[in-house]
Amino acid sequence: MKLVFATNNQNKLKEVQDMLPNSIELLSLKDINCFDEIDETETTLQGNARLKADYITSKYGYNCFADDTGLEVKSLNGKPGVYSARFAGEPSDSEKNMQKLLSELNGIENRSAQFRTVVALNLNNENYLFEGICKGDILHHKQGEKGFGYDPIFKPLGYDASFAEMSSATKNKISHRGIAIQKLVAFLKNFRE
């Protein structure tokens, strides 16, 4: 089965490829010659994931899935949430996003947060949604060199390391995206065309 993952993020692409069975051929946007900038104009993670998947399916005709992820910090009323990638403004800059978040949490004791990923799948003219949540805390400063995005300042519950200090195998098992993709993979394994 061929599936397009509607992302230009090579880190995400590699993460997801490592989780999919060999029976699924994962295509990137580059593989289908899509160089369009798909604006995330929705106000929810579900809306943005669907928007991206629908764009690829309608314009290119492929079965496709797309994701959107937000970091939701309890003491900031769920911010940055759907705006996580551009929390510090345009263009998206992970370092600036982390610094802004740490600045907003300065002096705040409750640093509990969760990463939430929603995956929208368009398969044979049907739409499906899968969600993954990973609860944890925002660290006071960056730890680790691996990962991307907010990984250096997010420590999942039950672990002493940030996502940026973990192996990709460990992170994929427990992360928000990993959980959502595991649900997607389980669905695809049971899917009969």
**Catalytic residue status for 68:** yes
What gap in Å lies between CA 6 and CA 172, rounded to an integer? 19
Residue spans of alpha helices (H) in 9-111: 10-19, 45-60, 94-104
DSSP secondary structure letter of residue 49: H
**Within 10 Å of residue 79's Cβ, how many Cβ atoms?**
17
Amino acid identity, position 39: D
Strands (E), the chain: 2-5, 25-27, 64-73, 80-81, 112-123, 126-138, 154-156
Q: Measured between alpha carbons, how far is 142 from 151 in angstroms, rounded to an integer? A: 9
Selected catalytic residue, list 67, 68, 137, 151:
68
Please choose, from the candidates 133, 135, 151, 129, the residue with its C-alpha nearest in 3D space to the C-alpha of residue 49.
129
Return the active site residues: 68
